[in-house]
């Protein structure tokens, strides 16, 4: 881990102090390099953050989650759909795209995987039927970046639309529950994307949208400069907490004290539960548990007419 100058101007770590006359007091604080997901990981649970971003080597993760596989598959298919030549950019392009980048990990068995594939293809076909294929977005899985006095922030937005001269942040969701405007308003990631996109594209970016593919609904919120600033300020506070924890660790603090646990409902879904005593009491979840309510097992497998061969076919 890097050693940063302390406020007193003395470098710590490895037991070597640096004399103050070298002028470290005058050096600017190093910016905290981060993505929204890195900040959210710490806000959710500092210990989980430590395992994911600080511990090297990182502890082994648990098995892959089917819902993550589904989310990744759908996101990649939608990204690649925009790369299809515009004259062929229709729903008929989707089976090939989804099949080509389908992620197979985490499903209970082939039958469940096929049912989920068919359901996902249905979501995608309904979704793109509502898009104008000739209206290419400003960016698709586009990385945007910005700096503040504390943060060197970057993040990859699923889609950034150009509408009425403004940039609009679009985030795809494939989870089981629908989302509302409060989810869009409260999303740190969406607000930070808007903050960064406004700088990158040099155009107003205040509207953020969650597109929930299973229900075909859109949860939108229009930020104000003040609400964006509140999110940025919150992100900076989290970054300061992380930097303080990392500094404490660097100076010899107990890792479990520098990065405390935050046990709760998320523990059941935590990749590091097996190495965290605080997660031991959380209910155990199968890797496909979140999928079961997305695609109930009672739903018989129905091969979509366009879906042959299925993704489970080698
Ligand atoms: S199991 Fe729970 S408390 Fe432990 S690291 Fe994961 S989220 Fe944090």
Measured between alpha carbons, how far is 174 from 255 in angstroms, rounded to an integer?
A: 35
Q: Residue of the nearest CA to atom 5 in ligand 1?
A: 48
- In this prediction, residue 147 has a pLDDT band, given cuts at 50, 70 and 90, of very high
CA of 266, closest atom in ligand 1 = 7
- CA of 68 from ligand 1 middle (Å) equals 18
Q: Residue of the nearest CA to atom 2 in ligand 1?
A: 267
Average pLDDT score, the chain = 88
Ligand 1, CB within 6 Å, residue ranges: 45, 47-48, 261-263, 266-267, 270, 272-273, 276, 278-279
- CA of 243 from ligand 1 middle (Å) equals 20
- For the chain, helix (H) and strand (E) counts, in that order, are 10, 6
Q: What is the pLDDT of residues 14-60, one digit of tens each?
A: 333 334 444 555 566 789 999 999 999 999 999 999 999 999 999 99
Q: What is the pLDDT of residues 177-201, one digit of tens each?
A: 879 999 999 999 999 999 999 999 9
Q: What is the pLDDT of residues 75-100, one digit of tens each?
A: 999 999 999 999 999 999 999 999 99
CATH topology of domain 139-232: Lambda Exonuclease; Chain A (3.90.320)
| 246 three-state secondary structure | helix
* CATH 3.90.320.10 domain residues, the chain: 139-232
Count CB-CB contacts under 10 A for residue 3.
14
Burial class (CB in 10 A: 0-12, 13-18, 19+), 73: buried
CA of 47, closest atom in ligand 1 = 5
Burial class (CB in 10 A: 0-12, 13-18, 19+), 211: buried
State pTM to two decimals: 0.85
- CA of 269 from ligand 1 middle (Å) equals 9
- CA of 271 from ligand 1 middle (Å) equals 8
- CA of 180 from ligand 1 middle (Å) equals 27
The whole-number pLDDT of residue 19 equals: 40
CA of 279, closest atom in ligand 1 = 1
The whole-number pLDDT of residue 296 equals: 60
- CA of 278 from ligand 1 middle (Å) equals 6
Per the structure block, which two tokens stand in for 161?
């639309």
Using the predicted structure, report yes or no on whether residue 224 has a pLDDT greater than 70. yes
Q: What is the pLDDT of residues 237-292, one digit of tens each?
A: 999 999 999 999 999 999 999 999 999 999 999 999 999 999 988 999 999 999 98
Residues 6 or more apart whose Cβ sits within 8 Å of residue 211? 127, 170, 171, 172, 173, 217, 218
């Amino acid at each position: 881990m890097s050693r940063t100058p302390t406020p007193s101007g003395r470098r710590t770590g490895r037991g070597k102090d640096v004399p103050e006359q070298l002028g470290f007091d005058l050096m600017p604080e190093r910016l905290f390099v981060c993505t929204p997901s890195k900040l959210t990981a710490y806000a959710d649970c500092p210990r989980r953050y430590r395992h994911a971003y600080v511990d090297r080597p990182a502890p082994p993760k648990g098995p892959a989650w089917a819902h993550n596989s589904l989310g990744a598959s759908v996101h990649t298919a939608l990204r690649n759909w925009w790369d299809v030549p515009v004259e062929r950019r229709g729903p008929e392009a989707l089976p090939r795209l989804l099949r080509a980048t389908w992620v197979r990990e985490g499903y209970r068995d082939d039958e469940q995987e096929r049912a989920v594939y068919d359901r996902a293809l249905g979501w995608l076909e309904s979704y793109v039927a509502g898009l104008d294929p000739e209206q290419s977005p400003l960016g698709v899985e586009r990385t945007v970046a910005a700096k503040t006095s504390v943060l060197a922030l970057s993040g990859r937005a699923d889609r950034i639309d150009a509408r009425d001269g403004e940039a609009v942040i679009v985030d795809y969701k494939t989870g089981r529950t629908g989302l509302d405007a409060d989810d869009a308003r409260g999303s740190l990631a969406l607000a930070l994307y808007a903050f960064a996109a406004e700088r990158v594209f040099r155009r107003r970016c205040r509207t953020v949208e969650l597109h929930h593919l299973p229900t075909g609904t859109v949860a939108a919120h229009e930020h104000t400069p003040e609400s964006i600033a509140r999110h940025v300020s919150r992100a900076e506070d989290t970054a300061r907490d992380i930097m303080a924890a990392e500094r404490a660790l660097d100076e010899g603090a107990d890792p479990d004290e520098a990065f405390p646990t935050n046990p709760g409902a998320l523990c059941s879904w935590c990749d590091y539960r097996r190495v965290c005593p605080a997660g031991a009491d959380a209910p155990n979840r199968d890797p496909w548990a979140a999928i079961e309510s997305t695609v109930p097992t009672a739903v018989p497998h129905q091969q979509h007419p366009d879906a042959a061969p299925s993704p489970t076919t080698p």
